[in-house]
Structure 1
Amino acid sequence: MTSYKSFAVIGAGTVGLPIVNALAATKDVSVILLSRPGSSAKTVPSSVKVVQVEFNDAAAVAAVFKEHKVDVVLSTITTTASAAQKSLVDAAKLAAIKLFVPSEYGLPTEGHKDGPLGEKNQIAAYLKSSGIPSTRIFTGLFTEFIPWLVDYSNGGKIKVVGKGEAPVSFTSVPDIAGFVGYVLTNLPPSELEDRILRLEGERSSLNGLATQFKTSVEHVDSITGDAGEFKTGLQHEMDVGAGSTGWDVVKNAEGTGSNAAGSANALWPGHQWKSIKEVHNL
């Protein structure tokens, strides 16, 4: 059994709030949610205390961690703000945190040097240099975000940049939150410290999504509209294979064993992972 009894979640967005709920549903643990001053009120379980603090003030954040005797810090801040995690790591070191779970929850970042994926990898390196044990969780794309990625609402087709043939890992938000809550409250530290956990709810190519959504593929040079450049960049990564949670960017190949896509699914025995069709009622 785990020795972790007190958790601090940073951010309450798409995956943050579900993780808060999953942890709070566990007996004999305490959970706090950190949000920025002035942020909108969050609806959380009655057992969860919401603390407003400026994330860039390492001393102030560390004081919160110490006051609540936090064992584990989970950062869920957005990809575009991942560099801001550095001050959170500094706070964790000041407070002698036992485990830090950085904001990954997406495509594999190990080995990346540039862009948003590179920034996340740099945070992992900073954690290591700070001497704080960490657990990185690669999930692939959130299954719920498929329509967003392929611009499905604009014409009802699966818009694909590139060939669209490479396999992509998709994992639903409830599965991600449930997994995080389970492993952090059931597994011993030896199975979590300085580990990369690779999830996969379902595996499909972007082209293959068309069959599931009962539509056709439209190959395009780029995705336009809101966040179009970001979506285009993601699809370019996926087109070379990096959409799989088992992808090794250094070797330019799929990993095997504990480095394979979905290899960490087994850590949550008996769980039935949600399919694409189930999530989207197809």
Structure 2
Amino acid sequence: MSTMKNFIIAGAGCMGQYVAEEFLKLIANCEGSNLTILTRSSPSGNAILEKLAKLGAHIVTVDYRSHESLVSALTDADVLISVIGGYEDKADYALADAAKAAGVKLFLPSEWGLYSRGITDGIYASHDLIHRHLDRIGVPYALFYTGMWPDFMFAPGYAGWDIPQGKITVWGQGNTPITWTTRRDGARFVAYLLTHIPAKELAGKMISVGGDHKTLNELAESYTSRTGKKLEATYLPIVDQEKILADEPPFSFQGILAYLLVCYDKGRADLRKTLPEGLANELWPDWNPKSAVDALLETYP
């Protein structure tokens, strides 16, 4: 059992709200003591933060430009978990420096997607830089990956899938397996991990979990089989996304999406193959993640 009791989460948006909720469930079950959420602005009027505060989270407003502000917020923290989207605003550098000064036992920088260690192209080049910074200053850290989020990636228009209209776009052949984990299941796993395994056993580890592994074609076929609703697929050449990737800024919407779509086609989204250690699902034998098609069916029954 882990001795870590005081948890701090930086960010409470797309992924962070789920991570916070899962920690609060464990704390209510006496598997932790405190959860603090760092926010850039006042929580007043923020529905997510107000909900989490009612569930027992401590909300602390910090200035990411102030080292002293962050160090003060991190004092006595066992674990710092970043769920800030991307590194282009340098927030994770500020958190890392403050974690070092405050003596945090373990830092999880913002990952949550595809394997990034040593990757120096596209959006993951920024991840490689923060890893180097963490190594340089000597902060104990672990990297946590979930693959793609099926409860997020198929919003109408986001990746060319418009399920309500029965039309989907597939870049490439659509036959390469992709690792899928819902945000809730990824949050459950990381909360369990940090409350059951000591920090010293997690430091330096790259931990990847996978709720499901399906190609885009398999996912579409499974959806049709379960619902009887046919999805009309349009197949487009992946080279078009490669051109976008070469021309667009890496952190633009088009640049991020193109990078992910190319990863899908090239097999870089299958965490069973890209992570040297393989999947770590066995660290929680009772984990029962939702399948990718079940996640789709929750949104598009």
Q: Same fold (TM over 0.5)?
A: yes
2:38 aligns to what SS in structure 1? strand
Q: Deviations over 1:199-231 (max 9, x none)?
A: 11000112222202322431125579x934432
Q: In structure 2, what is the equivalent of residue 7 of structure 1?
A: 7
Query: Displacement, 1:56?
Result: 2.8
Alignment of structure 1 residues 68-83 onto 2, 5 Å: 69-79=76-86, 81=88, 83=90
1:206 to 202, 210, 216: 216
Q: In structure 2, what is the equivalent of residue 165 of structure 1?
A: 175
Q: In structure 1, what is the equivalent of residue 205 of structure 2?
A: 195
Q: In structure 2, what is the equivalent of residue 48 of structure 1?
A: 57
TM-score of the two chains, using structure 1 as the length reference = 0.88
2:180 aligns to what SS in structure 1? strand
Provide the rounded CA distance (Å) in 2 between the counterparts of 1:82 and 1:136.
Answer: 19
Q: Deviations over 1:73-121 (max 9, x none)?
A: 0000012646421111011111111100110000111121132211112
2:100 aligns to what SS in structure 1? helix
Contact 1:9/1:20 (<8 A) preserved: yes
1:174 aligns to what SS in structure 2? helix
Provide the rounded CA distance (Å) in 1 between the counterparts of 2:14 and 2:259.
Answer: 21
Higher helix proportion (structure 1 or 2): 2
Structure 2 gaps of 5+ residues are 225-230, 245-251
Contact 2:87/2:127 (<8 A) preserved: no
Alignment of structure 1 residues 123-138 onto 2, 5 Å: 123-138=130-145
Q: In structure 2, what is the equivalent of residue 119 of structure 1?
A: 126
Q: In structure 1, what is the equivalent of residue 94 of structure 2?
A: 87
2:161 aligns to what SS in structure 1? coil
Query: Displacement, 1:57?
Result: 1.8
Change (3 A) 1:211 1:80: farther
Where has structure 1 moved over 4 Å in runs of 4 or more?
221-224
| AA aligned opposite 1:33 | I
Contact 2:189/2:287 (<8 A) preserved: no
Provide the rounded CA distance (Å) in 1 between the counterparts of 2:270 and 2:143.
Answer: 15
Alignment of structure 1 residues 95-244 onto 2, 5 Å: 95-148=102-155, 149-153=158-162, 155-214=165-224, 215-221=231-237, 227-244=253-270
Question: How many residues align structurally?
Answer: 269
Q: In structure 2, what is the equivalent of residue 29 of structure 1?
A: 33
Alignment of structure 1 residues 261-272 onto 2, 5 Å: 263-272=279-288
Contact 2:112/2:146 (<8 A) preserved: yes
1:213 aligns to what SS in structure 2? helix
| AA aligned opposite 2:12 | A
1:143 aligns to what SS in structure 2? coil
Share of identical aligned residues, percent?
Answer: 27
Query: Displacement, 1:125?
Result: 2.0
Query: Displacement, 1:15?
Result: 1.3
Provide the rounded CA distance (Å) in 1 between the counterparts of 2:209 and 2:25.
Answer: 22
2:74 to 62, 65, 70: 65
RMSD over aligned CA atoms reads 2.2
2:280 aligns to what SS in structure 1? helix
Provide the rounded CA distance (Å) in 1 between the counterparts of 2:91 and 2:122.
Answer: 14
Query: Displacement, 1:264?
Result: 1.1
| AA aligned opposite 1:49 | H
Provide the rounded CA distance (Å) in 1 between the counterparts of 2:171 and 2:203.
Answer: 37
| AA aligned opposite 2:209 | L
Q: Say which is worse superposed, 183-192 or 93-102, in terms of deviation.
A: 183-192
Contact 2:160/2:170 (<8 A) preserved: no
| AA aligned opposite 2:212 | E
Provide the rounded CA distance (Å) in 2 between the counterparts of 1:265 and 1:82.
Answer: 32
Provide the rounded CA distance (Å) in 1 between the counterparts of 2:198 and 2:215.
Answer: 35
Provide the rounded CA distance (Å) in 2 between the counterparts of 1:130 and 1:163.
Answer: 44
